Amino acid sequence: MKEDSEVVNSYAKGFLLGALVGGAVGAITALLFAPKPGKELRDELSYRSKDLLEKGQNLFAGQEESHPGVQNDGKTQADAVVRTAREKADDLLQNAEQMLRDAKSKAQQSSNIVTDGISKIKDAASAGVDAFKQEMSNIPPHSRS
């Protein structure tokens, strides 16, 4: 029986949070797309955000009185979400760093291959020039024309 009550409380908390967030998003979206001057829009956003904050505090206070411990449950769940997000961010960062190291290594390998190729081409060109000079020196001067 207690488990059923906890499930109902969990759904109620989720519904309440969803209603608050949905209402806030809907109100902000409506305000942003309404054709109003900047100052008037800012004033209305300020008014509506204060109103939503007050409503949320009132709802939360009512829930806290009828369901003590909800705040601790919410904090525990929020801490778990933050911890999971940090872990995933750390994993992404480590993966990105590894990809960067791999890319640098492959770039260095490519650079080495290109440098070796250029060196071989220079050596071959130099050998060709030397062979040409050698052949030219073997031809008598009066036969070159």
- Among residues 70, 95, 114, which one ends one of the domains? 70
pTM for this prediction: 0.37
Domain count, the chain: 2
- Burial of residue 99 (CB within 10 Å: 0-12, 13-18, 19+) is exposed
**124-133 pLDDT, tens digit each:** 989 989 988 8
Residue 30 maps to a domain: yes
Q: What is the pLDDT of residue 59?
A: 72
- Sequential DSSP letters for 1-54: -HHHHHHHHHHHHHHHHHHHHHHHHHHHHHHHHS---HHHHHHHHHHHHHHHHH
Residue 43 maps to a domain: yes
Domain range for 106 = 80-139
**56-101 pLDDT, tens digit each:** 777 766 665 666 555 567 678 878 888 888 888 888 888 888 888 8
Residue 11 maps to a domain: yes
Q: What is the pLDDT of residue 69?
A: 58
Residue 44 maps to a domain: yes
- Among residues 70, 95, 118, which one ends one of the domains? 70
Residue 131 maps to a domain: yes
Residue 144 maps to a domain: no
Judge if 37 and 100 occupy the same domain.
Answer: no
Asked whether residue 35 carries a pLDDT value surpassing 70, the answer given is no
- Among residues 49, 70, 91, which one ends one of the domains? 70
Judge if 66 and 2 occupy the same domain.
Answer: yes
Residue 145 maps to a domain: no
C-alpha–C-alpha distance, residues 132 and 137, integer Å: 9
Q: What is the pLDDT of residue 113?
A: 92
C-alpha–C-alpha distance, residues 75 and 85, integer Å: 15
Asked whether residue 11 carries a pLDDT value surpassing 80, the answer given is no
